[in-house]
Copies of this chain bind each other. A is one copy, B any other.
């Protein structure tokens, strides 16, 4: 999400963290598929201006971009290890989703550049529904819309003929491109594009008591609101030792104080290839009902990388069901889909996402036979 979205808002409290927030905005319930069943997990709200991360120099907020985020994240990791030296030298993995398709390989790259002077023992990276390569990301999104019957073949053809999908720059948009873009926007406007089959949040009012029948298996589309209420509670902030400086703005899932983003390469493919070359384990996964950075986009981006497949595209299993599909490539890159998951994979398929995470950590292939 983002840039500018918080990993507490999504990762920790709606996806893979140990707790989810009830509809009352003040109590929690357990996520028994939390990723810290398998590893120590750190969540980072970055860069300054996101969530509880802040700067004392307001003008810093206009200087943000991929470069200083990577630098800041690196400094955070090094200093965190100074503060908790018992973790020095432990295996380190970096995971993220969406715009973390930039953050994750960029941070990995920064770590490797400082190797071996730091105590950061980077083993692998894991990226879900990740922004990787603007052109294929965009093309894949529209192809996904068409193949999932959200837009017509006619609209898709018109779009491809009239729009410059390489730049997507409004300044060069033709009249014909504007018309078909509007049409496409209208067709997807009242849809949760982050999971095309999910319900919308139609009533975000907090309930007096936790909603009945709440379960980790069914994601509540209004969770964003519960988390926002929860993290703005003074006692929660005090318990987290957060917001000690009394920020003049509310905690928000996605930052509205960061208004400018100065650098964002159109592709991170060269970076990923470099990491593979240096022996870093790379797993890329994709919730297959996400329409924002859909599986199609990731497929196109991987194709651009010209990797050599060492297994055929095949199902992987969990509990006798298809968990998704996967393919492995030379150079320790694994691509896997998670069946029935949207953009925030662990929100929609917590059990499948934990299984994927464990296999990633253990560097073992996803199970390719059903138990039957």
Contacts and interface: CB of A to CB of B under 8 A. Distances in A.
Nearest to A370: B190
A197 B340 contact: yes
Interface in A309-330: 312-315, 317, 319-322, 325, 327
Contact of A288 (B144, B148, B295, B314): B148
Interface stretch (A85-93, A111-119, A152-160, A260-268): A152-160
Nearest to A144: B147
A200 B288 contact: no
Contacts of A320: 190, 200, 202
Interface residues of A, number: 44
A315 B190 contact: yes
B143 A191 contact: no
A151 interface: yes
Interface string A25-42: 000000000000000000
Contacts of A152: 312-313, 327
A81 interface: no
B149 A147 contact: no
Given A197-B340, A312-B183, A339-B197, A317 B149 contact: no
Interface in A66-104: none
Contact of A322 (B191, B289, B313): B191
A249 interface: no
Contacts of A191: 315, 322
Interface in A153-193: 153-155, 183, 186-187, 190-191
A308 to B, nearest CB: 13
B314 A187 contact: yes
Interface of A: 143-144, 147-155, 183, 186-187, 190-191, 196-197, 199-200, 202, 213, 286, 288-289, 295-296, 299, 312-315, 317, 319-322, 325, 327, 337, 339-340, 370, 372
10 contacts: A149-B288, A152-B327, A186-B314, A190-B370, A197-B197, A197-B339, A199-B321, A200-B320, A200-B321, A213-B213
Closest 9 CB pairs of A and B: A147-B147, A152-B313, A197-B340, A149-B295, A190-B370, A191-B322, A149-B337, A149-B288, A202-B320
